Each structure stands twice: as structure tokens, then as C-alpha cells.
Amino acid sequence: MTRVALFISGGGSNMLSLVESMTGDHPARPCLVLSNRADAGGLAKAEALGIATEVVDHRPHKGDRAAFETELQSVLMRHSPDLICLAGFMRVLTEGFTSQWEGRMLNIHPSLLPKYKGLHTHQRALDAGDTEAGCTVHEVTAKLDDGPILGQARVPVEADDTAETLAARVLAQEHILYPAVLKRFVSGDKTPLYLP
Ligand code: GRF
């Protein structure tokens, strides 16, 4: 059984979708929900589901990413995960950490990579006049939002969309795409999945 650690920074809706998918004959189970913020709403949701939680606050290490990641790694090891799913985790991880988890760390990004790496993806798609948008699950490498693509889901952009309405449409697809990609990945299937 593959043990999955999920990293969050906020509400954790993607974490919840992933946790709810890991049941029955699914070859993985959540072993930890970790956040860099003690006030992340997703922590209470994980606790309510009986999942171990940890907080590793990045602020005491201000500017020293390596020190934050050293603490992250030592907390993580207490839970012996086989795989990490970044799910709304808003800290950039350095090569020192990503290299230790190469091939064993996934992320979901709210754009159709390689377009719109980084932040404010929905507003950037609207500003560019894109007619479609979406989300991408990819393996995490040292380069931000750049690893091998494992899946994408596309949504139409509506004429009256705001960043908020588009984000909500994409988020609904994230909750479908990420669990589907995770199940394939832990079953050894890395062929990219494209929805719809
Ligand atoms: C989502 O848009 C996800 O794509 C991005 O973080 C946002 C919040 O996700 N990585 P969640 O509701 O905390 O899972």
C-alpha cells in the first residue's frame, strides 16, 4: 500500500478530493497532511478524517529555504511516506528537496502548462483572451511548474468570466483530475491523462 503525504497551505479542497478517493481497492492511502501554515483550514478537515497532521512553519526560517526544508524532511520522515502530493501548497521547494523526491512528488497547477507558470493564472488567461483554460498535474522537479505532465483537464472560458468564476470552474476539474492521475501513477502508469 503506497503511503501518501499531502501538503497544503489553505482550504485543502484538492487534499480532500484525493483523500476521499483513496479507499477500497485503491493502492494508496493518506499517511499525513502537512501544512506550512497552522491556520490552514484543511488541517481541521484532515483531523476530522483521522489523518495525522503536521505544521512546519516557514516563517521562523525567513529567507533560509534550506533550513525550512531540513525541518520539513525530518517531520516528514516520521510518517514514512512513499509519495508526496502538493495540493495548494504555496511554498517554492528548492532542488535540495525536490531532488530527494524526484519521481515521487506530484503537484496540481491551475493552468494548461506550459502556459502560465507561477501565480494569477486565471487572470492571465483572461487578459490574454484565451477561449479555454484548465489545470495540470505534473511531477515536481527543481524548475517551478515544469516537470513531466501527468494529466490535464480543459474548461471553456466564458465571455463574462472573472478570475473567480474561471477559478471555480477549473477547481471543479482539479478535483476530478488529481485523484484520477494519482491512481494511475501509483499503479505505475505515467501516460498523461487528458480530460474531457
Ligand atoms: C488550487 O487552485 C490549486 O490549483 C492550487 O491551489 C489552489 C487551492 O487549492 N495549487 P486547495 O483548495 O487548497 O486544494
Collect all residues with Cβ–Cβ distance below 8 Å to 122 and sequence separation of at least 6. Answer: 110, 111, 133, 163, 164, 166, 167, 170
Question: Which numbered atom of ligand 1 lies nearest the CA of 135?
Answer: 4
Sign of CA dihedral 57, 76, 81, 79: negative
66 alpha carbon, distance to own chain's centre: 21
Nearest residue (CA) to ligand 1, atom 1 = 88
pLDDT average, residue stretch 30-37: 98
pLDDT for position 63: 86
pLDDT for position 152: 98
- Domain boundaries, position 27: 2-189
In a domain, 195, yes or no: no
In a domain, 112, yes or no: yes
pLDDT for position 90: 93
Strand order in the sheet with 83-86: 53-55, 28-35, 2-8, 83-86, 105-109, 132-139, 149-156, 193-195
In a domain, 196, yes or no: no
**Strand stretches in the chain, DSSP E:** 2-8, 28-35, 53-55, 83-86, 105-109, 132-139, 149-156, 193-195
Tell me the whole-structure pTM to 2 decimals.
Answer: 0.96
CATH number of the structural domain spanning residue 121? 3.40.50.170
Q: What is the pLDDT of residues 47-94, one digit of tens each?
A: 999 999 999 999 998 889 999 999 999 999 999 999 999 999 999 999
Ligand 1, from 15, 108, 140, 165: best to mutate by most atoms within 8 Å of Cβ?
108
pLDDT for position 62: 87
Q: What percent of the chain is predicted at pLDDT more than 70?
A: 100
158 alpha carbon, distance to own chain's centre: 26
Q: Ligand 1: residues within 6 Å at CB?
A: 8, 10-15, 87-88, 108, 110, 135, 171, 174
Q: How many domains does the chain have?
A: 1
Res. 171 pLDDT band, cuts 50 70 90: very high
pLDDT for position 95: 96
Nearest residue (CA) to ligand 1, atom 13 = 12
In a domain, 151, yes or no: yes
Nearest residue (CA) to ligand 1, atom 10 = 88
In a domain, 42, yes or no: yes
Q: Known catalytic residues?
A: 109
pLDDT average, residue stretch 129-141: 98
In a domain, 194, yes or no: no
Q: What is the pLDDT of residues 97-111, one digit of tens each?
A: 999 999 999 999 999
